[in-house]
Amino acid sequence: MRYFFFALACVIVGVAQEINQIDLVPAQPENLGSWAQVAQPLRLYPTLSKSVRYEGPSLATNLFGEISLGDAQYVIMLGVSAQNEVALWVDFDGNLRLTSAEKLQPTRISGGLAWSFTLLARPKDGNPYEYPLSVLWPEGRGYVFLLGGCPLSGSFQGHKIALVDGDLNGVFGTKGDFLGVDVDGDGKIYADPDGHEYFGLSEAFTLGAKSFKVREISPDGRKISVEETSYVPPKVPLIPGSPAPDFSFRDFVSGQELSLKSFRGKVVLLDFWATWCPPCMASLPGLRQLYSQFHAQGFEIVGVSLDESADDLRQVLADQGISWPVAFEGKRWDNSLAALYRVYQIPTAYLLDRNGVIRYRDLEGEDLAKAVAELINEPAQTASSGASGLPELSAKAEPILEITVPKETGLRPGEESSLSLRITNASPYLAEEIRFSVQGLPAGIVSKTPDIFDLPAFGERTLSLTFWAQKLEPKDFPIPIKVRVEYHYCIAEACFQMVQEAETTLVFGASKASGFVLPWWVLILLAMGVLGTWLIWGRGLSAFSVFIFALALITLGFGVYLGQARQAQRIAAVLCTSCVGIEEPHPSQAELSSELRLAFAALPKASHLVLFYTPWCRACPYAKNLVTEIAQINPKISVEMVDADSERGRAEKAGVVVNGKAVVPAILIEETGKVLFGTNDLATRLLSALKEIP
């Protein structure tokens, strides 16, 4: 009887909650949309912690990487032969032996090489399943992109639903995975991260009058159950053809109250930007020209600035002579308009027609001018044609820094305590303007955070956060705190703002932190010792000198232990032409005149440029940006970046090494073998060198 009531209760609860089971089957990403494929960088290393045996002909270079799909781990090896043939080995059988049977030949894609294969994912507590993956190698780099996500699709209440393994870990239901649900029933799912049909696993989606959220997902993703939840208004579609959500704002310069609706009857470009975003700044002159050309005919720009500093914005508006209205809240990414339009990367721009309908997205340059002209000539109140301008988003905003903090840090009243914080950039992108703040500190504890800095690709830095409290009782402890790290990074033209947090605890007393603490005391003792020699005389000085000599040896030893001898050698082994003042330093942003752009675009011959750079070179970012821009202007020109420091052999072969010293930046034109050094008049020299290609 007891069991009967229990079963009945289960049924009642089940019915009340309306648990719905959905079966999913593997789907072709092409049938779903570009969002169904997720790209993630994977760093490659010369060696792995486990020993992997390669059985095959000798290679000029080989780099290893590891792919984890649930409990299954696969080693991949990228190998370049002496004949410059590139291949990928995948340890399909997981025996840590790479044989010729596991060698895959690449297919060439623009800017690199690609391989596609299928691995077996083994989620814990779940059935193994096939996981298709692609590896894309931007040639010459020390990393690859993994492309996958194993999209699964099914149907729920007549609406198409898809599940993607967004973190590429082979297990469904983990952080980063997401759903795409065709909520509007148009047969197509818009599940880009800012799409109205994208739902994180904890996010509710609404079909008609009911909202649902995920209750359970099987580790292999084949079965998901959803349950009804309290009603959540559906996300507003922001795709071409849908009306742009209205908002009102106060113009930053004039202080006038405006709304998007007040521009009805005009063609409006809604531009999300910020002064700290280089691609946004680069687009301003073009926008200004467009504005002066079409403003009289009914073209308006509404800028939404994601800046924090009103002064920076005022300065840029004045310098650039911007006269269109700009909305400013001073909250960076917490901007309410950015939230309304689900802006997670900038620049983002919507072009609205005279009826306030979104018609295009993220157009720039000539395409934008053409679209504005088209919409200007279109009479108001016509039905929208629903032109397709849906962007192909290249990547998803993801945290790129790894933050390591000790579990706890000791703090004593009246004493300064420091927490050593290690920040590692796990991506091939530059993390810009990294700033720190501490959350959850009670009154009475003062913290000092490090200054704002940039961290280059795969860079690492150890910093210290200091805490100080005048008066605290042991009973006030432990104090859980969060270290908040805020930064942004750009991939090509798209910039993302990120916030990451690391948790730690302040405890009473001396720190039990285990991390390696820099022996600052040695430097302080050494400095005090040197000062002491000025005060001591007579025989005491002899003993003191011996003491300083010993201290110097200890300091030197610490330096060698910390790898600073190698660092010193790396710094010195590079001749950065602008660092030693042989050349003029350039701004890191390359600016090409319109004549040069046309000249590069008109080059008829295909060519491959190899840019040799090093991490220590401060003139290299300019050269990198320049060649990247040239490759964008003319698709016949391909570009490869080579770290002359780690790929010494290639640099020597190209003639970039002079007497054992790599001269960077240097650009090798593979077709002619000509090498261009330095950055002076680089664009002009490069143009004439490219013209020499027979």
Interface with other proteins includes 544 (CB under 8 A)? yes
Residue 477 interacts with other proteins (CB under 8 A): yes or no? no
Kindly state whether residue 525 participates in binding other proteins, applying the rule CB under 8 A. no
Estimate to the nearest angstrom the gap between the alpha carbon of 680 and the chain centroid: 31
Q: Which of 48, 387, 517, 552 binds other proteins (CB under 8 A)?
A: 552
Which range binds other proteins by CB under 8 A, 187-195, 245-253, 280-288, 523-531?
523-531
Compute CA distances 386 → 188, 239, 373, whole Å: 14, 9, 17
Pairing of strands 103-104, 107-109: unpaired
- Residue from 345, 400, 677, 689 in contact with other proteins (CB under 8 A): 677
Contact status: 466 vs other proteins (CB under 8 A): no
478 touches other proteins (CB under 8 A): no
Cα 188 to Cα 185: distance, rounded to the nearest angstrom: 7
Nearest C-alpha neighbor of 344 from the set 276, 396, 402: 396
Cβ–Cβ < 8 Å for 548, 533: yes
Asked whether 592 and 683 are in contact (CB, 8 A), the reply is: yes
State in angstroms the smallest separation of the CB of 589 from other proteins: 16
378 versus 652: smaller Cβ distance to other proteins: 652
Look-up of token digits 């053409």? 370
Find where tokens 């940006």 sit.
625
Distance CA 678, CA 664 (A): 7
Among 96, 560, 598, 606, binds other proteins (CB under 8 A): 560
Number of residues that bind other proteins (CB under 8 A): 62
β-pairing verdict for 61-69 and 159-164: unpaired
Cβ of residue 692: shortest distance to other proteins, in angstroms? 17
Q: Tell me if 557 contacts other proteins by CB under 8 A.
A: yes
- Judged by CB under 8 A, the residue of 559, 589, 597, 633 near other proteins is 559
Cα 202 from chain centroid? 23
* Near other proteins by CB under 8 A: residue from 58, 377, 388, 659: 659
At its nearest, how many Å lie between other proteins and the CB of residue 431?
A: 14
Binding of other proteins by 449 (CB under 8 A): no
Q: Nearest distance from residue 222's CB to other proteins, in Å?
A: 50
Among 171, 663, 683, 690, binds other proteins (CB under 8 A): 663
In this chain, which of 187, 233, 255, 660 binds other proteins, going by CB under 8 A? Answer: 660
Six-digit token string for 672: 């002619």
| 581/694 with CB nearer other proteins | 581
Question: Rule CB under 8 A: is residue 537 a binding residue for other proteins?
Answer: yes
Among 72, 253, 281, 582, binds other proteins (CB under 8 A): 582
What's the CA gap between 574 and 656, in Å, rounded?
11
Residues near 173 by Cβ (< 8 Å), separated by ≥ 6? 201, 216, 217, 218, 219, 221
- Out of 540, 606, 672, 691, the only residue in the binding site for other proteins (CB under 8 A) is 540
| Percentages (nearest 5) of helix, strand, coil residues in the chain | 25, 35, 40
Residue that has been written with the tokens 């910093």 in this structure: 463
**Residue from 236, 178, 159, 196 nearest 36 by CA:** 178
Residues interacting with other proteins, by CB under 8 A? 453, 461, 518-520, 522-523, 526, 530, 533-534, 537-545, 548-549, 551-560, 562, 564-569, 571-573, 575, 577-585, 616, 618, 658-661, 663, 677-678, 680
